[in-house]
Amino acid sequence: MPEPGFETETPAISLNAFLAGIQEHDGSYQAQSIRQWSQGRTLYGGLTTTTCVAVAMRAFPDLPPLRSAQIAFSGPTAGLLDLKAVSLRRGRNSAVIRVDMVADDVIAASALLTFAAAKPSHIAHSTLAMPAVPSPDQCEPFFGANARAPRFASNFDMRLAAGHRPISSSSETRCAAWIKYIDYPAGNDTQALVALADALPPAVIAQYTGPSRISSMTWGLDVLATSSNNGWKLLQSTSEWAADGYSSQAMTLWDSEGTALAVGRQLIALFE
């Protein structure tokens, strides 16, 4: 569950600075979870996934573009994090890499990453039209002055474009927000996209009537295109089903011109 306010007394650390701090050690990699990118007692899920992607790309530097990431969040990613990348398959056009993230001697996250080169094809279509929403300058900040916000959100400018804020006692199942980095990680466009694509709180949290925990269990992300600038992106999450203490949601990310950049699915555990 998000914590109250942003900790402005803690110096900011950009995404690029965090990624630069990942160190190779005896064939594996180490990263340090930091408060500026935390969500409750764990590293923000988007950064957990991005760290796995960055390690895969360092371990195998000739990989084609990232096409898909499937990750299971099995425990808190806190403290010193050990990561190991293993090639499961390498073909002429594609590669499948598994990255395990270990915290306190326990696997805290496991990512299955698919990289694949572009190929000629006469088939091309998209049904992922961006919804009609007000422009960013017409939208209020996603987290109000007295809102409970996770620390990692201070790395983004976020504007509420549709739906309701967390803990609104709303029946709303959809939420959309314009998002951009405060400090865009130039030169790391793939990692930047992954780290931004999970920034919204789960859509179902708008239905909460008071503070309570909520936790992502799995996240799947298909990368459709990348963007090399810090322009606004629209991220939409829709809770398509909720029962038995869980919610399943769909997620889509567009650039400001309406190009679909990524689609995702997420399973969320609800604590009320």
HSE-CB for 187 with a 13 A CA cutoff: 6
Q: How many Cα atoms within 13 Å fall on the side-chain side of residue 137?
A: 1
Task: Classify strands 106-116 and 156-162 as parallel, antiparallel or unpaired.
Answer: unpaired
How many Å from the N-terminal Cα to the C-terminal Cα in the chain? 11
Pick the closest to residue 77 from 46, 114, 56 (CA basis): 46
Cβ 200 vs Cβ 237: under 8 Å:
yes
Structure tokens at 105: 């001697």
β-bridge mates for residue 114, sequence order: 68, 96
Residue type, 25: H
Task: Write out the two tokens for 173.
Answer: 């199942």
Integer Cα distance of 107 and 214 in angstroms: 20
The whole-number pLDDT of residue 174 equals 94
Domains of the chain are: 15-117+137-270 (2.40.160.210)
Task: Estimate the crossing angle of helix 189-196 against helix 45-59, to 10 degrees.
Answer: 160
Pairing of strands 233-243, 80-90: unpaired
With beta carbons less than 8 A apart as the criterion, state whether 176 and 136 touch. Answer: no
- CA distances, 266 to each of 13, 71, 183, 202 (Å): 27, 10, 27, 9
For residues 81 and 182, give the distance between their C-alpha atoms in angstroms, rounded to a whole number.
25
Rounded Cα distance between 263 and 242, Å, is 20
What single string gives the DSSP state of each residue in 14-49?
-HHHHHHT-EEETTEEEEE--GGGEETTEE-HHHHH
pLDDT tens across the length of the chain (272 residues): 333 344 444 567 999 999 999 999 888 999 999 999 999 889 999 999 999 999 999 999 999 999 999 999 999 999 999 999 999 999 999 999 999 999 999 999 999 999 999 999 999 999 999 999 999 999 999 987 656 788 999 999 999 999 988 888 888 899 999 999 999 999 999 999 999 999 999 999 889 888 778 899 999 999 999 988 999 999 999 999 999 999 999 999 999 999 999 999 999 999 87
pTM (global) more than 0.85: yes
Closest by CA position to 33, among listed 77, 83, 84, 85: 77
d(CA 14, CA 20): 10
**Nearest-5° angle of CA 218, CA 220, CA 225?**
155
User: Do the strands 246-255 and 214-223 form a parallel or antiparallel pair, or are they unpaired?
Assistant: unpaired
